Amino acid sequence: MDRCIIDEVLLPESIIQKRVKELGEQISRDYGGQEVRAVGILRGAFIFMSDLVRNISVPLSVDFMAISSYTEGRDSGGVVRILKDLDKPITNKHVLIVEDIVDTGLTLHHLKEVLMIREPASLKVCALLDKKERRLIHDLQVEYTGFEIPNRFVVGYGLDYAEKYRNYPFIFVLKPEFYQSL
């Protein structure tokens, strides 16, 4: 991997893997044998989702949704659009949204409203990262969080900047010269 693009590694691979295992175990305990429909939010959550579900031991099925809340770079357009809807209905299912990061909370807030209308048996959220200090939706419930992180733009382990760096197995901050508009 190209080390000279990295400003700081926030979460090394071993730390992420340990926490994802804990989350999977906690989720398995909490659902107590009930069947879970894990809903991964593309594209940022795809790596987290694949590691998380391998650590969940209750009966489980997966589905994916693609949502756009950010433009190409790192700034929010303030708009949340469904680019790809779920393939299967979720009525009467125990739905667990799997998200990469909660920032302002606007994306998840909107998504939860959209999914609640479909009358799932329950709707919970598992987010790998949480930038709490950036939150605009203060009453947003996130049942499972991997790590609280400071207000820095991070990439790796599924997270991107302009669609790059998703393939790195750890989470890091890019050197400033690699962000086009800070």
156 binds ligand IMP (CB under 6 A): no
The encoded tokens of residue 169 equal 């197995």
Please tell me whether residue 102 binds ligand IMP under the rule CB under 6 A: yes
Q: Give CA–CA dist 120/1, Å, rounded.
A: 42
How far apart, in Å, are the Cα atoms of 110 and each of 22, 52, 68, 79, 136? 28, 23, 11, 10, 13
DSSP state of 12: -
Establish whether 51 is a catalytic residue: no
Task: Examine residue 159 and tell whether it contacts ligand IMP (CB under 6 A).
Answer: yes
Contact of residue 105 among Mg ion, ligand IMP, none (CB under 5-8 Å per partner type): ligand IMP
Which of 69, 124, 157, 174 is the binder for ligand IMP (CB under 6 A)? 69
For residue 164, what is the DSSP state? B
Q: How far is the CB of 88 from ligand IMP (least distance, A)?
A: 22
CB of 166 closer than 8 Å to CB of 158: yes
Catalytic residue among 7, 103, 130, 160: 103
Residue 175 DSSP label: P
44 binds Mg ion (CB under 5 A): yes
- The binding site for ligand IMP (CB under 6 A) comprises 44, 69-70, 76, 99-107, 153-155, 159
Instruction: Just list the catalytic residues.
Output: 103
